[in-house]
Structure formats: C-alpha cells, structure tokens
Structure 1
C-alpha cells in the first residue's frame, strides 16, 4: 500500500506467503532493526543512496554504468530505511524494463527479480505487467539452464560444476516466482557435499577450507529447505565464531585472511542471529567496527583497507547495524 502523502513504501504490507518466507524474514528483521537506528544516521545514508541513482534510473558499482547487481542492493538498502518513493521507483522501473531482453547471469536474474518486486512495492511501474503470460515458465527455464550435473547451480549456463552461492541465489529466485526448487533433494545433497571438517562450507569442490560467505549461503539454502540439523547448526556457529578479527571487531572471509570485511561481517552476524548464536557475537565490538567504515557524507567502505564507498557495502553496513539493533 502507498502512503497518500509521500508515497513511501509501507513495508508491513510485504507479501508474507510461505514461498517468500526467507526474503520476507530478512527484510522485516532488518527493517525493524533499522527503525531503531538514529534518525541522523538513516537520513545520511538515504541522501547518499538517492544521490547514487544514475540518470537512467539504475545504480552502479565502482566501475561506473548502471548495473542490475548494484541496483538491487541500492533498492534493498532504501527499502530497509523505508525510503523507496514513487518517483525514484518509476525511474528504476524504466531501467529494469530496458534490461528485460538482455542475457543475464544467475546473479543478474536474481537482482532483476528482487528489484522488480521492490519498485512495484514502492509505487513504480510493474516491470512485468506487459510480460507474456508464461513469463514465470520462461524464467524457470532460464534458471534450470544453470543447473549442473552435480545437482547444484552455477553462475552461467552449461557449467560443469555448481556453486554454493549461486545455488542459494537460484533457490531464492524460485521463492520469488512462488515455485518449488526442482529436484530439491539433489540440491540438498550438493550443498551438503560442500561441507568441510572445519565446520563450514566451501564455494567450489576443490576447496578444503571453508569461508564465511559460502557457509552463510549454504545455511541460508538449508534453511529454505528445512534441512538444518542440530549438529550442523552447532558446528557452523563454532566456525563463524572463529572468524572474528580480535583487532578490528568484524569478521574475516576465512581463517587465513588477517583483516575483516563488511560483507563477511554482515553474513556472519545475520547467520549467527538466525541460528540462535547471538551470544557468540561481541555486539559492541562489531558495531564499533561497522561505524568505523561509515563515511561522513553517507555510504560505507568495504573494510579498513578500503578507500571508497559503494551501494553494496552500504547495504551490508546498514544491514549489520540493523541486525544488531534488532538484537
């Protein structure tokens, strides 16, 4: 529903169907936490995100040029801050409409679907309103072209082996389509095959040591499939707890990297909270780390090693602060 005075999105009307429960849970929990953040902090980042929109309605990364991936992160950040408005969403809808017929990777396709939902909720044009009646069938066929012989999904069609991260993304894409993931048992077996003795999960089969982000993706997938066992939960919580950077306060991508980063910090914090592992988080240390990456004019850097901001890391920064505030 739209607010009659300023057309700001009312996030409490987001669809609560079982098929969208993971994305809905993520959105609502971050939104509720973001409401507890100081108004001046929220306003600063709304201004940054609004200023980041390109004339064609999309958003770009550091390389320049509007991009589906970064557009999705910008919209998700604005939605978290309850700051999607009709004019901005209409402009973004125009950008998305121009991308409908272009070939897309699994990431771009997921970003397109998420962005299309958000611009409609924010009062923009329904990007898929004029699509053929069988557009869900067509999207499903495109997603299945990314299926790999090992039961997972890959970034690109006809790949020889699957990716933990892309299997999770495509599972979420099917949720947006309100369709079950085909051959779910095979996908579960694939994800479990990426588990390692250190308690986490890896992105590709040859890797022996787990990483924060593939582990978060694996746990997210298993959650959507109702396939997390108590033993997996315990080992993953222990694995995540071991990734903390004692010096910085954030979390590292893996136990061989000396410095933390904002992506890993967000995924670890969110995952620990989802698995009732919040008592393993030093809330103040993580919050201090995240705030150290905030630019005065808005936006977040990727880590203490970074010297620029972008909309993706801004989502991770706001998302981490919101998750901690909700806690």
Structure 2
C-alpha cells in the first residue's frame, strides 16, 4: 500500500489548493461549515441533528480550510468518541475513522486515547473483512452478496487509516479490473448497465493505492472521464444523466489529476461551473436546480476549486 494513507495525502493536496483561494471566500465557507455544528459536537446535513456522515464532510472541509482547531475541534472529538462503540455502516465507519485522523492531524486530538478498547482497530478490521465476497471485492453490508466498487474502496481506505493489512490484495485487484467496461469506465456493481464517474474514481483509487494501475487502464479511463464533461463545464454521474453535479465534478477532476489527464477537459469551463455552484453566503449547491447548500457539497466544491487552482 502507499506510504502515506490516501486520504491524508488528499487532505494535504487539497489544503494547498484551497490556500490559494481568496481569504474572504475561505472565511465564508468556514463559517458556513461551523454553523452546521450541533450542541453534541457533531454536524448536520440539510436538516435534523448530528450525523456521522455529514460530520465527516464538515471536518474534511474545515481541515482543508485550516480551520479545524480549538473548541469546535474538541467538541467534534467528543462526538466521535461517543460513537465509537456503536454499530455503524461502512460509510459511517470511514467517517468516524477519517474524522479521528483529521482531528489528530489538524488539532492534535486523539479520539482513541481514552475510549477505544485495545483491540478496537482489530475488531473493526475483522468486521470489514466479513463484507468480502468470493470475487475479491466487498459488499455494502453483511447480508450483501454483490461486491461494490465504491464500498471496496471504502474498506481499503478504512484499513489504511487503521494501519491494518488488506488480507487479499490480488483478489481485490482482480475484482476492480473486472469492473471496467469497454468505454473505459467502471461499474459500481457487476449487474450494472453503465459505468459511472464515481465508481470509476473509486476504482482508480484502489488501483493507485495498490500500485496496480497500468497505462492501458489509465488512458481508457481518461477518455471515459473526458466524455463525462457537459456543455456547462461540470461532469455528470453517467451517460444517462443529462446534468452535471458537484460530486461527480470533484471525483472526476481528482481522478483526471491523478492520471495526468486534466488537459483532456475544458478546465476553464469546469471552474466556471463550480463557481456557479458557490453560494454567496457560504457553502455550495449540489446541482444547478438545487436551492439549498450542505456540508457535503461544500467539501466537494472546495475540493474541486483546489484541484482547478493547482492547474493555474
């Protein structure tokens, strides 16, 4: 596996790009994210109370903005500590573990010091391994029978952050390679009909982490992602969806950047699209017709601008 965990490396890359954005813009988005923090220290989505998923994105956003410290960070650490012994989905596991890593990186807070059992990391790794299917990939849940490209990526990210080994690297590589279609994109599940931007990003993430990316895959993937750019400059999730979204734009840009393929799309148009998704009061919308911002899309918007700024 890579020397530095993938997500920690990504955080540093994005923070470098975000630092080049105007100070007023950075402060506006930081205040938006901080306003989403609830009394228990967690962060909410568009409505309701604290949620691990949205807490993870808020912490990612604050971290790349250089604003994850002090009382907000301490309150977030307490929230994560309170969730460590609950049964969580794989997505929430990642939010918890990555949130802990960000708090340690940015604020020097160790959420495991006083609450985690000595074998907590091993227990989590064992739980993740129970999601492995015969084809080498990982399912979305314990009852799942179909491997998911995205959830296989999440398992790998979790294991990296936990500093636990991946039991069968060759099996996971075989599964990921089997998901690639003739158009160069990757499927989310084998029964899927169309490759998508986001599973393609996840697949390339796995192959890069495991040092299993070859030139043919790289070139085919660049061609696929270039075709996902719409006239509005953003990237769409797949060929059946006519509109762009900030999530697909971020994951597509990140993957093209990793593959040295950003010059295959219209960078200027992509930046215009992301900037249109930016709310003057702070935060980002998810799609053109959206009327509400949230912390998840704010991270994706900031991340996309960071990647685009790095090309200037």
- TM-score, normalised to structure 2, is 0.96
Shift of 1:123: 3.0
For residues 10 and 103 of structure 2, the distance between their equivalents in structure 1, rounded to whole angstroms, comes to 18
Q: For 1:109-188, what aligned pairs fall within 5 Å after superposition?
A: 109-123=93-107, 125-130=109-114, 131-188=116-173
Q: How many residues align?
A: 310
- CA gap of 1:70–1:87, structure 2 versus 1, over 3 A, is same
Structure 2: stretches of 5+ with no match in the other structure: none
What do the CA deviations read for 1:277-299 (whole angstroms, capped 9, x no partner)? 01112121111111111111100
For residues 8 and 61 of structure 2, the distance between their equivalents in structure 1, rounded to whole angstroms, comes to 14
Instruction: Report which stretch shifted further, 161-170 or 23-32.
Output: 23-32
1:66 and 2:50 correspond: yes
For residues 300 and 139 of structure 2, the distance between their equivalents in structure 1, rounded to whole angstroms, comes to 24
Instruction: Report which stretch shifted further, 256-265 or 144-153.
Output: 144-153
1:20 and 2:4 correspond: yes
1:190 and 2:175 correspond: yes
Q: 2:207 aligns with which of 219, 222, 229?
A: 222
Could you say which residue in structure 1 is the equivalent of 2:281?
297
For residues 138 and 3 of structure 2, the distance between their equivalents in structure 1, rounded to whole angstroms, comes to 20
Aligned CA RMSD, in angstroms, stands at 1.4
Shift of 1:208: 2.7
For residues 275 and 35 of structure 1, the distance between their equivalents in structure 2, rounded to whole angstroms, comes to 23
> Match of 1:26, SS?
helix
- TM-score, normalised to structure 1, is 0.92
What do the CA deviations read for 1:131-157 (whole angstroms, capped 9, x no partner)? 222222111111112212221112211
For residues 224 and 192 of structure 2, the distance between their equivalents in structure 1, rounded to whole angstroms, comes to 16
Shift of 1:47: 0.7
For residues 154 and 49 of structure 1, the distance between their equivalents in structure 2, rounded to whole angstroms, comes to 32
What do the CA deviations read for 1:143-198 (whole angstroms, capped 9, x no partner)? 11221222111221131111100000110111111222111111111111111111
Instruction: Report which stretch shifted further, 143-152 or 317-326.
Output: 143-152
* Contact residue 58 and residue 68 of structure 1 kept, 8 A: yes
1:210 and 2:195 correspond: yes
Structure 1: stretches of 5+ with no match in the other structure: 1-16
Could you say which residue in structure 2 is the equivalent of 1:275?
259
For residues 98 and 280 of structure 1, the distance between their equivalents in structure 2, rounded to whole angstroms, comes to 46
